Structure 1
Amino acid sequence: MTKGLGAREILERLIAFPTVSSRSNLDLVAFVEDHLAAHGVASRRVPDATGEKASLIARIGPAVEGGVVLSGHSDVVPVTGQDWTSDPFRLTERDGRLHGRGACDMKGFCAGALALVPEMLAADLARPIYIALSHDEEIGCVGAPAMIEALLASEPRPEAVIVGEPSEMRVVTGHKSSWGFRAEVRGFDVHSSLLHTGVSAVMSAARLIAWMTETTRANAAAAGASPFDPPFTTLHVGMVSGGTASNIAARDCWFSGELRILPEESLPGWQARVRAEAARIEAEMRAIRPETWFRLTTRMEMPGFLPAPDGPAERLARRLTGDNGAHVVSYQTEAGHFDARGLPTVICGPGSIAQAHQPDEFITVAQFEAGTAFLRRLIRDLAA
């Protein structure tokens, strides 16, 4: 029975579900469904193709346009290899901090929203509040697009979306887009004394890596005024592997990389630039050995977020928080997907991103309570 649970008790329950992206989140989804049903609130699952993951949508209030979506995600990053001083999947309070995987990112926000369902119902809302809980945000916002489409297909159009990622309750109105890719290179192996007759996959891969490095340097040198840190688009390679011996031109090599792109710049345009450079390198490889190749495949793709200023979501969040500052973030969120579907969106939630994904992840009690207070003000704002 979940009807009498407060925000901290719900946070404890949510953290206890180890919803890392390699595992199903359905136990957590079932808990949320039961909590909502205990208060007479219907919800709808949006399953993924495997049936092992699902997003969840619920409406509290009348079926009219102009509502507000509270957007959160159910998944968390792994704890493998991290040095925790307490069980990461058990809520632990120490020195005014609530520790646990996901406490900050972003089960704290979700717990606050779920705990206030009774107050939402009692307020006799004139416009609805939607709870939208996605799956697999941490591996590229995988669940968000289908969840958003299901919401738009089944409910009156909302006026605003609040993505409750940890922003220390500041109103965030921008983040970069990103593209993660894997490169696979097939060379032609020969003894290194006959290097001119073969094609080294490692050295061919290194040419694109070097181009990415130089392009990032050029972007930095040309950077203008920007609120982003860094104020330019970055191209990065994080993993690389290839070759069999130091005296053999490598037959195979792979590497994985990512671009983090200013939202005013074109994500497809940057993808085309990287692919064009890979194609140029491949053409030179094939001039030596026609059976060689250079392939790029997308691992993840996340749209940037840069809404029109002074939109309904921004005005609402500023009114509720009193924050009139200009804030952008370097991390990606589901805000870009909502914005791409024409839904006015803002990022505003409790906790600091500096604590997300860290060992002993935490949200301060003060921030947790600030998030709940913010949601109470939203309820009053939408009340009849």
Structure 2
Amino acid sequence: MPRLPSLISMMSQLIAEPSISCSQASWDQSNKAVIQLLETWLSSLGFECEVMPLPEQPDKFNLIATLGKGDGGLVLSGHTDTVPYDEGRWQSDPFGLVEKDQKLYGLGSCDMKGFFAIALDTIQQMDLSNLTEPLIILATADEESSMAGARALVSQNKVQARYALIGEPTSLTPIHAHKGIMMERIQVTGQAGHSSNPSLGNNALDAMHSVMSELMSFRHELKTRYKDASFVIDYPTMNFGCIHGGDNPNRICGRCELEFDLRALPGMSNQSLMAEISERLPSIERKTGTKIQLNSLFPDVPSFYTPIESDIIKACETLTKRQATTVAFATEGPFLNEMGMETLILGPGSIDQAHQPNEFMALDQIQPMQQVLRGLIERFCLPPSNQ
């Protein structure tokens, strides 16, 4: 069997292929080159590869690579896209892997192209000729923006396995739960007019003040009603991210927009939260004589929860010697759970370095991650005699 490039070479080649996903079209890119690299390497290892364009984005692709057959098995999953980068704030080329001070620098080094290189290097070192259950490598598109890749897999019901690991950067700590996220926009439409006479218009900023007061009251209610001690921030959060309205001090503001996010705890329904917010807006409309619209900026991401008693959680706690915990950031975990897999989040590198200039993965994260992957493949895909 032909050998793959070295781990460092694979990581370097993946990082060298830009694959930014972003809500702003000027940044958004295809991930095709990254998928093609992974397909080439996995095919050479004997995996059956299926490359699937996203239904509404033909320049974006998911990859499912399968070795072996069976009803159970293990998925090793990651996303192929990255966030945009801050031009001028990197000390090196974001698309050129640089090793310095026992760290590997590059856009996607920890979030999360580096994970694929580590996984493939681990796999090629193992004898997988007698798999009893399938080993599946899953590479998705657009996790950093719309999560359209994971949503497409759910709609197509393409991935069948018992367990899944998503290699997001967790500093090798098993994660069994995280909050969901909703990103919403409220638009208030009033009537512009000359500021010298308030009766000539209807100020949307004044009405937005009432909207924000109502949302702040709702935020306080959520904090009081819901608690989960397993989270560092043990209550749902709502953040007012940006507000835009008006155009000049001497004009009555005719329109104002507020964008905010809401992060719900496991067990809470995003749809119920939206309904509660919607119910609070008509009374403000009537009181202010404005039109108020509530819309989602992106489809919501549900909260993620896998019972801590799950076999894969227990296996990873044993392999890492760390107790499973929770995080606040969102992942593709709830979508893999929806497809019937017991899923956890565990990967090399720190989330503190993700989405930052000079993103890096520490070299001392690589070998321990390979030990975890080897242990999981032996536990869930190989016969007991190989373990």
TM over 0.5: yes
Which one of the candidate residues 295, 302, 305 is aligned to 1:297? 295
Contact 1:3 1:35 in 2 (8 A): no
Which one of the candidate residues 367, 370, 375 is aligned to 2:368? 370
Could you report, residue by residue, the CA deviation over 1:81-114 in whole angstroms, capped at 9, with x for unpaired residues?
4611111111111111111111111112121122
What's the TM-score, normalizing by structure 2? Answer: 0.90
Range moving further from structure 2, 82-91 or 196-205: 196-205
Look up the match of 1:236. Answer: 239
- Answering whether residue 65 of structure 2 is matched by residue 58 of structure 1, we say yes
- Tell me how far 1:221 sits from its aligned partner: 5.3
- Tell me how far 1:121 sits from its aligned partner: 5.5
Give me the whole-angstrom Cα distance separating, in 2, the residues matched to 1:302 and 1:17.
27
SS class of match (1:102): coil
Contact 1:57 1:147 in 2 (8 A): no
- Amino acid of the structure 1 residue aligned with 2:283: R
- Answering whether residue 249 of structure 2 is matched by residue 251 of structure 1, we say no
SS class of match (1:302): coil
Could you report, residue by residue, the CA deviation over 1:211-245 in whole angstroms, capped at 9, with x for unpaired residues?
32333344445664512132111111211111122
- Tell me how far 1:70 sits from its aligned partner: 0.7
- Answering whether residue 92 of structure 2 is matched by residue 86 of structure 1, we say yes
Contact 1:71 1:161 in 2 (8 A): yes
- Answering whether residue 178 of structure 2 is matched by residue 175 of structure 1, we say yes
Long gaps (5+) in structure 1: 287-291
- Tell me how far 1:305 sits from its aligned partner: 0.7
- Tell me how far 1:271 sits from its aligned partner: 1.0
Look up the match of 1:45. Answer: 51
Could you report, residue by residue, the CA deviation over 1:2-33 in whole angstroms, capped at 9, with x for unpaired residues?
94312221111111111111101111111111
Contact 2:313 2:324 in 1 (8 A): no
Look up the match of 2:283. Answer: 280
Give me the whole-angstrom Cα distance separating, in 1, the residues matched to 2:320 and 2:155.
29
Change (3 A) 1:342 1:197: farther
SS class of match (1:177): coil
Look up the match of 2:16. Answer: 16
- Tell me how far 1:297 sits from its aligned partner: 1.6
- Tell me how far 1:248 sits from its aligned partner: 2.1
Range moving further from structure 2, 104-113 or 194-203: 194-203
Contact 1:82 1:359 in 2 (8 A): no
Contact 2:308 2:324 in 1 (8 A): no
Give me the whole-angstrom Cα distance separating, in 1, the residues matched to 2:88 and 2:111.
16
Look up the match of 1:208. Answer: 211
Change (3 A) 1:120 1:280: farther
Percent identity reads: 30
- Tell me how far 1:312 sits from its aligned partner: 2.9
Contact 1:98 1:365 in 2 (8 A): yes
SS class of match (1:169): coil
Range moving further from structure 2, 160-169 or 141-150: 141-150
Look up the match of 1:289. Answer: none
SS class of match (1:24): coil
Long gaps (5+) in structure 2: 22-27
SS class of match (1:53): strand
Give me the whole-angstrom Cα distance separating, in 1, the residues matched to 2:355 and 2:80.
14
- Tell me how far 1:124 sits from its aligned partner: 2.3
- Answering whether residue 297 of structure 2 is matched by residue 313 of structure 1, we say no
Could you report, residue by residue, the CA deviation over 1:330-372 in whole angstroms, capped at 9, with x for unpaired residues?
1000001112333211111111111111111111001122212
Contact 2:176 2:307 in 1 (8 A): no
Give me the whole-angstrom Cα distance separating, in 2, the residues matched to 1:209 and 1:329.
27
Which one of the candidate residues 161, 172, 185 is aligned to 1:158? 161
Contact 2:302 2:334 in 1 (8 A): yes
Contact 2:102 2:363 in 1 (8 A): yes
- Structure 1 runs of 4+ with >6 Å offset: none
Look up the match of 1:271. Answer: 274
Contact 1:215 1:235 in 2 (8 A): no
Instruction: Name the Cα RMSD after superposition.
Output: 2.1
Give me the whole-angstrom Cα distance separating, in 2, the residues matched to 1:51 and 1:163.
24
